Homo-oligomer: A and B are copies of this chain.
């Protein structure tokens, strides 16, 4: 089969023929109908510091996909031939303490699909049943392949109150964009979106943001304080910017919620006394998706039209066009890019 392979510990990747995966017990073999590019894939493609520590070439890249099940292994109980599946990226062990208490997303022995194992930028994928998610057949493959950032957004947004809250979303990448739409559909009083890219702020407006702030031109603290003198109720940090977080800590109201999903590349210096402790704030680190509670919730929201993922899918390309795709991702001139074979 054709697959996009990270072959060497250096920038780039190679589209090439590899051997087809073979069915195994507790696994299903599925034909990939659509696959999306995540920021993690860009790290591996560009071979940055994070990738150099974590990735283990040679591996087939990718982890976001929708695929049609063709073959079902022994002992598989609920996935059937013809099902359209996606896969949880975080391959959990099901035996460690975190898995035992239901925190599968914090598994102590977690493997990442497309990083520690072969991924999904290929014509076929072999998926363990425990990490497979059965999509509702009404959801098109292109949309289903892009539901991972929706899952991250669902996990973040619903980690606390949303209805009637004022919410500041820092960073309008795919996860931030999903978060904006989720907040609006859950009855947030006001959603303020912040980014430094006009392209992304345009998408934020399309997802329903009430107010847009261009952090490269405007003083976010001043703007937010003018709109909400009493402070904003909830911060959703999805940019990884330490500067943005610190500014946000100044404008969040005492007793407010600060949800951290964006990964700063460096350490962040915080005025813990004045900006966290004396304000009685809660800072929540959010990683991945609850397996599979988040998927269930995301699926409902997709099904009932609360969120239109189509709006964030800005590019549909053939996998042969992968170099172009990664270039677009690096430039940030895109929402979600979906590739097909």
Residues of chain A at the chain B interface (Cβ within 8 Å): 25-26, 74-75, 77-78, 93-95, 97-98, 100-103, 105-106, 108, 158, 162-164, 185-187, 189-190, 230, 240, 242, 245, 253-255, 260-265, 267-273, 276-287, 290, 292-293, 295-297, 300-301, 304, 306
Copies of this chain, complex-wide, total 4
Q: Are B286's CB and A277's CB within 8 A?
A: yes
A–B Cβ pairs within 8 angstroms, 28 of them: A77-B93, A98-B253, A98-B254, A98-B255, A100-B293, A100-B295, A102-B102, A103-B254, A103-B280, A108-B230, A108-B254, A158-B163, A162-B163, A164-B306, A186-B186, A186-B187, A189-B300, A189-B306, A240-B273, A263-B278, A264-B272, A267-B270, A268-B270, A269-B269, A270-B270, A276-B285, A278-B287, A283-B284
Q: Are B296's CB and A285's CB within 8 A?
A: no
**Chain B residues, CB < 8 A from A273:** 240, 263-265
Complex Cα–Cα for A282 and B103 (A): 14
**Chain B residues, CB < 8 A from A108:** 230, 254
Main secondary structure of the interface of A (DSSP, over half): loop
Q: Are A164's CB and B279's CB within 8 A?
A: no
Additional A-B contact list (13), CB under 8 Å, known A98-B255, A163-B185, A189-B304:
A25-B25, A26-B75, A77-B94, A78-B95, A97-B253, A98-B253, A106-B255, A106-B280, A242-B272, A262-B277, A268-B269, A276-B283, A280-B286
With contact pairs A263-B278, A287-B279, A296-B100 given, residues A164 and B106 touching in the complex (Cβ less than 8 Å): no
Q: Are A296's CB and B97's CB within 8 A?
A: yes
Q: Are B272's CB and A164's CB within 8 A?
A: no
Q: Looking at the complex, which one of B102, B268, B283 makes contact with A290 (CB distance below 8 Å)?
A: B102
Q: Are B270's CB and A279's CB within 8 A?
A: no
Complex Cα–Cα for A20 and B272 (A): 40
**Chain B residues, CB < 8 A from A306:** 164, 187, 189
With contact pairs A95-B77, A267-B269 given, residues A292 and B101 touching in the complex (Cβ less than 8 Å): yes
With contact pairs A101-B296, A187-B186 given, residues A74 and B25 touching in the complex (Cβ less than 8 Å): yes
Complex Cα–Cα for A282 and B278 (A): 17
Q: Are B189's CB and A187's CB within 8 A?
A: no
Q: Are B300's CB and A255's CB within 8 A?
A: no
Complex Cα–Cα for A271 and B266 (A): 7
Shortest beta-carbon distance from A38 to chain B in Å? 16
Complex Cα–Cα for A262 and B277 (A): 8
Complex Cα–Cα for A257 and B100 (A): 18
With contact pairs A158-B163, A254-B98, A255-B98 given, residues A105 and B280 touching in the complex (Cβ less than 8 Å): yes
Shortest beta-carbon distance from A191 to chain B in Å? 12
Complex Cα–Cα for A53 and B95 (A): 36
Shortest beta-carbon distance from A71 to chain B in Å? 17
Q: Are A297's CB and B255's CB within 8 A?
A: no
**Chain B residues, CB < 8 A from A261:** 277
Name A271's closest neighbour in chain B (CB-CB): B267
Name A277's closest neighbour in chain B (CB-CB): B285
Shortest beta-carbon distance from A184 to chain B in Å? 9
Shortest beta-carbon distance from A278 to chain B in Å? 5
Shortest beta-carbon distance from A285 to chain B in Å? 4
